[in-house]
Amino acid sequence: MELTLFSFRADEMSWIFAIMTTVVFLLAGIYSFGYMSHDEHKKRYACFYLLVYFILLGLDFSANLITMYLFYELMTLSSMPLILHDLKKESVSAAMKYLYYSIAGAFLALFGIFVLSRYAPSMDFVPGGHFTAGNVPNQELILGALCLMVIGFGAKAGLFPLHAWLPIAHPVAPAPASAVLSGVVVKSGVLAMIRTVFYVVGADMVRGSFVQTVWMVLTLLTIVMGSARAFHENVFKKRLAYSTVSQLSYVLFGLSTLHPVGVAGSLLHVLFHSVAKSLLFMSAGSVIHQSGKTKVSELRGIGRQMPVTLACFTLGSLSLVGIPPFAGFFSKWYLANGSLASEIPVFGWLGPVVLLLSALLTAGYLFPIAVQGFLPGKAYDRNPEKKCEAGLTMTIPMMILAALALLLGVFSTGIIEFVSQLAAGLM
């Protein structure tokens, strides 16, 4: 097989991820002007920030598995400096852990690529894939390689057991870097899975195999574990990082159903989670930047000092929990319906149960921040209520994302139709 090193093509899937990447990077970039205004290394930060953006666009528009993998690796190397930006011991340690986990996942994926390159007629991305179930030599070897690729690419998407870098990297990274890491960079692992399963191997070959079972078990386990850890976490940004671990596996679970409705729900959640989680990390960054408070237990009454920031955080929380008419409700509705429609034994009904449990836990670790922030109670010391709201360069991007979290839900019909047609074409 002749392998093309660099090949690019724009299709519907490319545009979904490219538009999402551009919106989040643009708003987080504007936010950075205020957040990084007094940072002595802001030029270095801006350089790597833009480099990550252009590498992600290369990954989004890759036309084959080899090109995508090259940009996937470049994205790891270019995003690592965003984590170790302040060069403190904790930041360097977190960045190295991010690198180690990413390399481990990449090696698993690389082994799978070697196997696929031996048996696939082409490494180009074709909707529906290149294989047909029951008609492939060494099918078990191909499925084994695919299982390793799912776990390997899952490292970037926070899938258990290669998820531990996320709650370590986010607390030390600058807030705008956390926003793009959680909103966009982790989605590179999602896109890599989509391309591998639905554009190279084919859903028909994976459906009913041990790969699907392993995939679903790991996603449901990650959803529960991430939500539970977030519920008990007191460090503000670390709580949001565990939330990302859980929410990303919503997406991966929808993909693992290999059903058009479930896949459509995953694509919706890719978009809606990017908006909500970027907003939450920017809000957390504003609180930390302006007040110096890094723990959830310190945030009682913060709404009196930063009403706009906490209002934006509340709107993002409503979307992430899935309260209608916010955007997150519609993606979770499709994920639950896709699980039921797949009629997979046990997992068909277990999926919606786990999603509901996780939604309750999500409400449990996000809503108290908003409630206690605005309504601290009679025992709250009202003397230090000096306003410390962030400047316009930080608040305007948050307000835009908060508006998107609502408007994308209210006017979601066109987006839902688009992703539904796209998902149906992948089966």
Q: What is the pLDDT of residue 90?
A: 87
56 confidence band (pLDDT: 50, 70, 90): very high
Q: What is the pLDDT of residue 318?
A: 95
335 touches 262 (CB < 8 A):
yes
274 touches 184 (CB < 8 A):
yes
Question: Measured between alpha carbons, how far is 409 from 318 in angstroms, rounded to an integer?
Answer: 11
Neighbouring CB atoms inside 10 A of 276's CB total: 31
pLDDT digit string, tens, across residues 206-221: 998 899 999 999 999 9
Q: Helices 413-424 and 12-35, interaxial angle, to 10°? A: 130
4 confidence band (pLDDT: 50, 70, 90): low
Cross-strand pairs, 8: 62
387 has pLDDT over 80? no
pLDDT digit string, tens, across residues 390-399: 889 999 999 9
109 touches 153 (CB < 8 A):
yes
- Residues 96-111: what's their mean pLDDT? 92
Q: What is the pLDDT of residue 301?
A: 83
pTM over 0.85: yes
pLDDT digit string, tens, across residues 298-321: 888 888 888 999 999 999 999 999
Neighbouring CB atoms inside 10 A of 286's CB total: 27
Q: Is the peptide bond before 121 cis (omega within 30 degrees of 0)?
A: no
Q: What is the pLDDT of residue 382?
A: 59
Instruction: Give percent helix, percent strand, percent coil of the chain, each to the nearest 5.
Output: 75, 0, 25
Q: What is the pLDDT of residue 133?
A: 65
328 has pLDDT over 70? yes
Question: Measured between alpha carbons, how far is 196 from 205 in angstroms, rounded to an integer?
Answer: 12
123 confidence band (pLDDT: 50, 70, 90): confident
Question: Measured between alpha carbons, how far is 89 from 71 in angstroms, rounded to an integer?
Answer: 28
98 to 101, 172, 173, 184: CA distances (angstroms): 5, 12, 12, 16
379 has pLDDT over 70? no
Q: Quick one: which of 320, 319, 310 has its CA closest to 242?
A: 320
- Residues 69-75: what's their mean pLDDT? 93
- Mean pLDDT score of the chain: 90
244 touches 158 (CB < 8 A):
yes
Apex 218 CA angle, 213 and 219, nearest 5: 100
Residues present in the chain in total? 427
Percent of the chain at pLDDT above 70? 96
297 has pLDDT over 70? yes
384 has pLDDT over 60? no
Q: What is the pLDDT of residue 381?
A: 61
291 has pLDDT over 80? yes
Q: What is the pLDDT of residue 1?
A: 54
365 has pLDDT over 90? yes
330 touches 409 (CB < 8 A):
yes
Matching residue, tokens 């007191």: 234
346 has pLDDT over 70? yes
60 confidence band (pLDDT: 50, 70, 90): very high
Apex 389 CA angle, 245 and 286, nearest 5: 25
pLDDT digit string, tens, across residues 204-262: 889 988 999 999 999 999 999 999 999 999 999 999 999 999 999 999 999 999 999 99
Q: What is the pLDDT of residue 3?
A: 59
pLDDT digit string, tens, across residues 14-48: 999 999 999 999 999 999 999 888 878 888 999 99
| Structural tokens at position 70 | 């090259």
Q: What is the pLDDT of residue 37?
A: 83
Question: Measured between alpha carbons, how far is 199 from 64 in angstroms, rounded to an integer?
Answer: 9
219 to 110, 113, 154, 213: CA distances (angstroms): 22, 22, 10, 10
